[in-house]
Chain A
Amino acid sequence: MFAWSRFAAVVVKEFVQVRRDRLTFAMMIGMPVMQLVLFGFAINMDPKSLPMAVVAAESSPFSRSLVRSLEASGYFRVVAQPATAAGAEALMAEGDVQFVLHVPADFSRKIARGERPVVLVEADASDPAATGNALSAIQALNYSALDRDLAGPLAGLRSPAPAFELRVHRRYNPEGITAYNIVPGLMGVVLTMTMIMMTALAMTRERERGTMENLLATPVRPFEVMAGKIVPYILIGYVQVVVILVASQLLFRVPMVGSLALLSSILVLFIAANLAVGFTFSTLARNQLQAMQMTFFFFLPSMLLSGFMFPFRGMPGWAQAIGEVLPLTHFLRIVRGIMLKGNQWDDIALEVAALAAFLLAAGAVAMARYRETLD
């Protein structure tokens, strides 16, 4: 009983309404750009040049070499040299420094005697993400920092070559540029946000303004309304994607290793899945405020549990289970896979299937919730 004319009626109407609502339209185009610039430039998961205080009980070539090699790693910047440990403690408590390096008084002497003096590094680990990389850089320095100073009779104290060589290849993002991870992810985040909100509001608005009563009194079928309301937003979603892709190339030079065509075809699925969620919310919400609240109720876990902000594998099993339900989780794997790793269809088929399953389920709920009467 699907009629193209009724479907077309809803599509045309939605297009005209979206076009006429200038502010919303501007927001839909402006928001991805704003978020991209903001997050793309602002978020850095690998912070460098962190402030450090050095409490050196002795000043020797060894201690100077140690400090120099720490600075050379790029993670540390010596900003203060307090005389006492108490002074350093105050600096860290006030947040002026993130690290304190304690060089013991008999540092050189103990080295010369082969006694392995203890050098203490204190880190403000209240934010583990901010200190993690810097601390692992210290581990790597540890053994070779003084090799150059251990010359002549002290050469025997140089750290021995390990029994095997460990070689690390950082694949897909060798320089560890955060933007490569964030920018493709933002595509999913922006789409989740706008697509759910737009449909949730569009339907609730009909009810709030009383136009729903008129619509229900006509022969239009639920599926025609739903499809007709979804199609215009799919196109808007694509416009957002183009904006983000162009900006990611121009501003961040994020590589596009895989197939753009593959990504575009999967996008339909992801956008439609989000629209179905929005449509479901609109059948539950009594007014536009509630629709907004529901959107955020869905949006926050999407942002936090999908692997967009925090590593997915770092979450406990139950949180991963929630994350697996969210369409954004699967889309992030797909979009990062295609853009950074050059994933092919075979690599992502499972994620696509998960998206499709979500779309079917959300669509079924939306259709079941849609009332043809005002009851």
Chain B
Amino acid sequence: MAEAALVIDVEGLTKRFDDKVVVDRFALQVRQGQIYGFLGPNGSGKTTTIRMLCGLLTPDGGRGTCLGFDILRESARIKREVGYMTQRFSLYEDLSIAENLEFTGRIYGLADRRRRVDEALERLGLGKRRGQLAGTLSGGWKQRLALAACLLHDPRLLLLDEPTAGVDPGARREFWEHLHQLAHGGMTVLVSTHYMDEAERCHALAYIAYGKLLASGTAAEVVAGARLHTWAIEGEDLAAVAAELRGAPGADMIVPFGARLHVSGTDAETLASSVSAAAARRGLRATSVDPGLEDVFIHLMRHAPEPVTVAGRAEG
């Protein structure tokens, strides 16, 4: 079976703010129908990258296409077929739910605006509250409304910037079920998130720190690619064990997970001896486990190069 068409295909994407490189030669390929997760610490350039993809920011370097349109020259065409949900609620709080959707419908010049707005309200279950001001909605409902507004014009690509920040787990689950339905229908979704459970629900992932792409692929590929070995220690007084292991040879990273301690490193043998020695001293049990995405991401971030500042003079 032939692979689905590339919806996003960019390379060398670079963005500087003053002298600070926020996105550094970033490459990304997303295929149609994929839910592509975008992960990385705060300030790593996720939002900037998304904004460059939909024409909100002009890249300083790089090229590529989004939905087959050139991201540098055809951003007007891209805007018509992309649904972009901003990190912060960016609909009008002093307009009602229905008025916000009507506005969006008019902006996209939808011929059957009324019907689509009614349908969207129906789907949201907000038919009876259509006159309520958007500003009075709770976080979860604002997020649902924002998504409905993004979807009103049937975009081919959804760009979601931390859509579930501050939303309760129930609403998050519903939201992701909705995303999977959309992807199943052929829509492509690029979503940035901080939640590991959400990352695991994506078809493919990219991990970005300090503007650089550090890893990409499916969750399993990202984990395998990190060549990380992890041991789990269970039992009492884990804090003391953690203190002891800090600085021990091979133990690069010690992360407590409730009643378990994850100790990870890239050098399998040194790590194994350090861990088993420490565990044995206290009579605790250490088992080798598969590293989780979170272990891998923390590892990636720790080993990421420091932020790059480019002085313009150095180049000239």
Between A and B, 26 residue pairs with Cβ closer than 8 Å are A3-B109, A5-B106, A5-B107, A6-B107, A13-B95, A16-B95, A16-B99, A17-B94, A17-B95, A20-B94, A20-B95, A211-B92, A214-B86, A214-B90, A216-B56, A217-B56, A217-B82, A218-B107, A219-B80, A219-B107, A219-B108, A219-B109, A372-B55, A374-B51, A374-B56, A375-B57
Interface residue? A126 (CB, 8 A): no
Per the bound structure, the CA–CA distance linking A250 and B56 in Å amounts to 53
Secondary structure at the B interface, as helix, strand, loop or mixed, is: loop
Interface residue? B79 (CB, 8 A): yes
Query: In A192-212, which residues have CB < 8 Å from any B CB?
Result: 209-212
Interface residue? A157 (CB, 8 A): no
Please encode chain A, from 20 to 62, with 1 for each CB lying within 8 Å of some chain B CB and 0 for all others.
1100000000000000000000000000000000000000000
A-B contact count (CB 8 A): 75
Interface residue? B119 (CB, 8 A): no
CB-CB < 8 A to B91: which residues of A?
211, 214
> Taking the nearest CB of chain A, how far is it from the CB of B111, in angstroms?
9
A6 & B109 in contact (Cβ 8 Å cutoff): yes
CB-CB < 8 A to A375: which residues of B?
57-58
Please encode chain A, from 349 to 375, with 1 for each CB lying within 8 Å of some chain B CB and 0 for all others.
000000000000000000000001111
Binding site for B on A (CB under 8 A): 3, 5-6, 8-9, 12-13, 16-17, 20-21, 209-214, 216-220, 372-375
B54 & A217 in contact (Cβ 8 Å cutoff): yes
> Taking the nearest CB of chain B, how far is it from the CB of A19, in angstroms?
10
Among A6, A209, A219, which residue has the most Cβ atoms of chain B within 10 A?
A: A219
Contact of A219 among B79, B86, B88, B95 (CB under 8 A): B79
For the complex of A and B, 7 pairs with smallest distance between CB atoms: A9-B106, A214-B90, A217-B84, A5-B109, A210-B88, A210-B90, A218-B107
Query: In B87-142, which residues have CB < 8 Å from any A CB?
Result: 88-95, 99, 102-104, 106-109
Per the bound structure, the CA–CA distance linking A219 and B105 in Å amounts to 11
CB-CB < 8 A to B224: which residues of A?
none
Smallest CB-CB separation from B149: which chain A residue?
A214
Interface size on B, residues (CB 8 A): 29
A217 & B109 in contact (Cβ 8 Å cutoff): no
Secondary structure at the A interface, as helix, strand, loop or mixed, is: helix
Smallest CB-CB separation from B88: which chain A residue?
A210
CB-CB < 8 A to B104: which residues of A?
218
Known A9-B103, A219-B79, A374-B57: A17·B92 in contact at CB below 8 Å: yes
A13 & B58 in contact (Cβ 8 Å cutoff): no
Per the bound structure, the CA–CA distance linking A210 and B84 in Å amounts to 13
A373 & B55 in contact (Cβ 8 Å cutoff): yes
B79 & A217 in contact (Cβ 8 Å cutoff): yes
